[in-house]
């Protein structure tokens, strides 16, 4: 299934293009993930765990839309990636390898500092949910969110996700404290 690029206007009038990621985005995607790891306590990747440009190219190349996988990226309309610009958000749907789980897709997403709280995450996630609803192989989406991410939980709830569980103390933060992981799901098929 194809994803058409579309320009979105978020709060404050800023513009971004939401589109399917391509292998050529490896360098921009790595730089974006490194920025997330350095500026957000809501993701579990540490800066020293961010892979190489080649790693991101390989990951993008392994995305299988036929199985229900999708990797959306958002790039600033002012500086498109193909012209050396910057990725400012992403939303990934991954399908497990096991046949009995292949009707599920797990969502991972992030938004770059400076683009948080303006509606970009909602635009990407709404696009991914609509795509998943139209995909014949997908019946369910699932995600996890740190209990401290109240804005994320509000967004997911507004888009129809329901809380399904809590894993207490699942994430150990850099300062030694622990965060619970909230499990959420949404039927799409």
pLDDT digit string, tens, across residues 106-144: 999 999 999 999 999 999 999 999 999 999 999 999 999
The pLDDT value recorded for residue 72 is: 98
Could you list the pLDDT tens digit for every one of the 189 residues in the chain?
788 999 999 999 999 999 999 999 999 999 999 999 999 988 889 999 999 999 999 999 999 999 999 999 999 886 554 545 689 999 999 999 999 999 999 999 999 999 999 999 999 999 999 999 999 999 999 999 999 999 999 999 999 999 999 999 999 988 899 999 999 999 999
As to burial, measured by CB atoms within 10 angstroms (0-12 exposed, 13-18 middle, 19+ buried), residue 33 is buried
pLDDT for residue 85: 63
Residues in Cβ contact with 94 at an 8 Å cutoff, skipping those fewer than 6 apart: 69, 105, 106, 108
pTM of the model: 0.93
pLDDT score recorded for residue 43: 87
140-153 pLDDT, tens digit each: 999 999 999 999 99
CB count in 10 Å sphere of residue 116 = 17
Q: For the chain, percent helix, then strand, then coil, each to nearest 5?
A: 35, 30, 35
> Cα 120 from chain centroid?
11
Token pair listed for 158: 């507004």
List the beta strands (DSSP E) in the chain.
6-9, 15-20, 70-76, 87-94, 104-111, 140-146, 162-172, 178-187
Task: Calculate the alpha carbon distances from 79 to 28, 38, 70 in Å.
Answer: 12, 22, 23
Q: CA 31, CA 83: separation in Å to the nearest integer?
A: 15
176: left (phi over 0), alpha (psi -120 to 50) or beta: left
Helix axes 150-158, 120-134, angle to 10 degrees: 40
Six-digit token string for 152: 């994320």
Tokens of 28: 């921009």
Rounded to 5 degrees, φ, ψ at 62 are -85, -10
Domains of the chain: 6-137 (3.40.630.30)
């Amino acid at each position: 299934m194809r994803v058409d690029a579309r320009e979105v206007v978020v709060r404050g009038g800023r513009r971004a293009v939401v589109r399917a990621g391509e292998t050529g985005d490896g360098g921009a995607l790595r730089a974006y993930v490194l920025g997330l790891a350095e500026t957000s306590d809501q993701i579990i990747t540490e800066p020293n765990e961010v892979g190489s440009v080649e790693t991101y190219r390989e990951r993008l190349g392994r995305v299988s839309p036929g199985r229900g996988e999708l990797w959306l990226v958002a790039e600033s309309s002012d500086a498109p990636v193909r012209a050396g610009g910057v990725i400012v958000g992403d939303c990934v749907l991954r399908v497990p390898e096991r046949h009995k789980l292949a009707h599920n897709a797990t969502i991972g997403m992030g938004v770059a500092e400076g683009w948080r709280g303006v509606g970009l995450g909602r635009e990407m996630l709404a696009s991914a949910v609509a795509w998943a609803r139209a995909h014949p192989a997908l019946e369910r989406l699932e995600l996890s969110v740190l209990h401290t991410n109240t804005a994320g939980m509000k967004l997911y709830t507004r888009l129809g996700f329901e809380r399904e569980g809590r894993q207490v103390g699942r994430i150990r933060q850099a300062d030694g404290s622990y965060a619970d992981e909230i499990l959420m799901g949404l039927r799409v098929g």
